[in-house]
């Protein structure tokens, strides 16, 4: 299953669904509330988010501001997570069923809060490394797929793994070739049907 973090950004979040449509797949998007709730770009990003929702994409919580959460006091932590889910629900009408910690940093304060509230915490199983590439070039999709499939000497994805990608122009630019390559190598992408469906073993 594909997951896209750190959006929505109007420019990218319109391009990625177009590619996903062509591949007949949907993704799980871990959103930051600030992009569609604050600042000059919020209205455009909100419009894109509504379109993503109508399009059948599924959303998870990635906190309001993508702070380093371990520095936060209990009240700020609750605000960062709780408010993000509320904002996503207000715009999309979706109940948010999962949370991915920014920078994959979690502590007891976070775990305690998540235990007593939805959403559950979700990590990622397979890092596509897409965020390492600043500008698109022809070698990126092969590097990504080699990494995901273990062809670069690492461990390959397993059934049910979720793939970490980002709502970034470079990712959008290489996405179609990467998906086609994954399919050619025998992988099938799973469609998230609801916020908590198809979530991986890494949920913890």
Does 181 participate in binding Zn ion (rule CB under 5 A)? no
- Residue ranges with strand state E in the chain: 2-7, 28-31, 58-61, 98-99, 120-121, 126-127, 163-166
Only one of the segments 1-9, 73-81, 147-155, 179-187 lies at the binding site for Zn ion (rule: CB under 5 A); that segment is 1-9
Residue 90, C-beta contacts closer than 8 angstroms, at least 6 positions apart: none
Contact residue for Zn ion among 2, 6, 97, 172 (CB under 5 A) = 6
Length of the chain: 204
Q: Which is nearer to Zn ion, 61 or 149 (CB)?
A: 61
φ, ψ (nearest 5 deg) of residue 161: -65, 145
Distance CA 167, CA 23 (A): 17
Q: Chain centroid to CA 92: how far?
A: 16
Residue 102 CB, nearest approach to Zn ion (Å): 5
Q: Which is nearer to Zn ion, 83 or 180 (CB)?
A: 83
Q: What is the DSSP letter of 204?
A: -
Binding residues for Zn ion, rule CB under 5 A, total 3
Q: Which is nearer to Zn ion, 6 or 181 (CB)?
A: 6
Q: Which is nearer to Zn ion, 156 or 169 (CB)?
A: 169
- Stated as kind and residue range, the H or E segment containing 44 is helix 42-54
Q: Which residue is nearest to Zn ion (CB)?
A: 5
Residue 24 CB, nearest approach to Zn ion (Å): 27
SS3 content of the chain, % helix, strand, coil (to 5): 45, 10, 45
Distance CA 10, CA 117 (A): 30
Q: Which is nearer to Zn ion, 102 or 119 (CB)?
A: 102
Only one of the segments 3-11, 41-49, 69-77, 115-123 lies at the binding site for Zn ion (rule: CB under 5 A); that segment is 3-11
Residue 90 CB, nearest approach to Zn ion (Å): 21
Q: Taking CB under 5 A as the criterion, which residues in 91-110 touch Zn ion?
A: 102
Does 5 participate in binding Zn ion (rule CB under 5 A)? yes
Distance CA 162, CA 6 (A): 16
Q: Which is nearer to Zn ion, 6 or 161 (CB)?
A: 6
Write out the two tokens for 10. 């109007």
Task: Catalog residues that contact Zn ion under the rule CB under 5 A.
Answer: 5-6, 102
């Amino acid at each position: 299953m594909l997951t896209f973090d750190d959006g929505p950004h109007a420019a990218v979040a319109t391009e990625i669904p177009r590619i996903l449509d062509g591949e007949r797949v949907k993704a799980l998007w871990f959103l930051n509330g600030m992009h569609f709730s604050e600042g000059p770009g919020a209205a455009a990003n909100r419009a894109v988010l509504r379109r993503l929702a109508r399009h059948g994409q599924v959303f998870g919580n990635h906190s309001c501001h993508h702070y380093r959460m371990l520095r936060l006091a209990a009240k700020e932590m609750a605000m960062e997570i709780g408010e993000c889910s509320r904002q996503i629900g207000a715009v999309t009408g979706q109940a948010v069923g999962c949370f991915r910690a920014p920078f994959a940093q979690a502590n007891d304060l976070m775990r305690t809060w998540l235990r007593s509230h939805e959403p559950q915490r979700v990590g990622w199983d397979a890092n596509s490394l897409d965020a390492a590439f600043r500008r698109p070039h022809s070698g990126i999709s092969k590097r990504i797929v080699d990494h995901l499939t273990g062809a670069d000497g690492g461990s390959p994805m397993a059934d049910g793994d979720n793939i970490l990608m980002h709502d970034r122009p470079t990712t959008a630019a290489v996405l179609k070739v990467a998906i086609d390559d994954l399919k050619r190598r025998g992988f099938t992408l799973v469609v998230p049907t609801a916020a908590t469906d198809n979530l991986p073993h890494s949920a913890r």
